[in-house]
Amino acid sequence: MATESLVEPVPGAPAATADLGDETALVVADYHAGIEIGLRYERGVELQSAAQQRRERLLGLLAGTDADRLVVLGDLGHRIGETEGIEREEIGDLLDAVAVPVTLALGNHDPGVAEAFDDRIEVTPSNGGRIGDVGVLHGHTWPSPAVLGADVVCMGHEHAAVRLADEVGGTRVERAWLRGPLSRAAFADRVEIDEWGDPELVVFPAFNERSGGTWVNVAGQSFLSPFLPDGLEGGEAYLLDGTRLGAYRAV
């Protein structure tokens, strides 16, 4: 992946470390606590809760990277609206176990989370924020001018994935990173740019493997973010193990 970047993926994990200047952060996107309850009501799918496994996986990454802060790029919770019941319990247990400050870039699923845990997490506006030279946002809205002035912009929301074919015609879907220069032209008529940082954009895979995603290399798949794909015309895809796939549209 990109060399000398402020943001470097953790090999084999849907997470990255970010150099925030005076802190090192572990950054993840789309945790979707309580997703199993959501899938039951939304799709009639019955799945055993993986809350403990999610929490232990995240805590292991925090310990392994010796991070000073946890940054979640939106959708810490799954329910849109008030956070309650099993989802609230899962988020509370996670925050009890995390020993570092937590920053949440507010996602479209998070208003209830921000209200329920406002004394325990720092929350950016929906159009993101900037920590040192790193811009963070969920990606469901147009970013703030401050975010576009960063050296690197990190976002989630897309749950980026690639569909891969094997030699005998079988297919599999794998979560993926997207990285590349952010295109200024994509924001010309939508954001008043005070300072253009000529940033690299890093689109994170979803931390929660049960949350589905956008197959970025399949024709007809629509992106969720209002500034994609126009904002990342030259982007490349990478698997979680670091395998470089090349231009994401050509995978």
CA distance 169 to 12: 26
Write out pLDDT tens, residues 72-112.
999 998 776 677 788 899 999 999 999 999 999 999 988 88
Q: How far is CA 230 from CA 41, 186, 227, in A?
A: 34, 6, 6
Pick the range with the lowest mean pLDDT from 35-49, 146-160, 171-185, 216-230: 35-49
All structural domains of the chain with their residue ranges:
16-250
Q: What is the DSSP string of 221-235?
A: PPPSSTTTTGGGTT-
Q: Inter-axis angle of helices 35-43 and 85-97, to 10 degrees?
A: 160
Contacts 24+ apart (CB under 8 A), 190-195: 190/142, 190/226, 190/227, 191/142, 191/143, 191/144, 191/145, 191/148, 192/145, 193/145, 193/148, 193/149, 194/145, 194/146, 194/149, 195/145, 195/148, 195/149
**Average predicted confidence (pLDDT) for the chain:** 91
3-state secondary structure of 124: strand
- Second CATH level (architecture) for the domain 16-250: 4-Layer Sandwich (3.60)
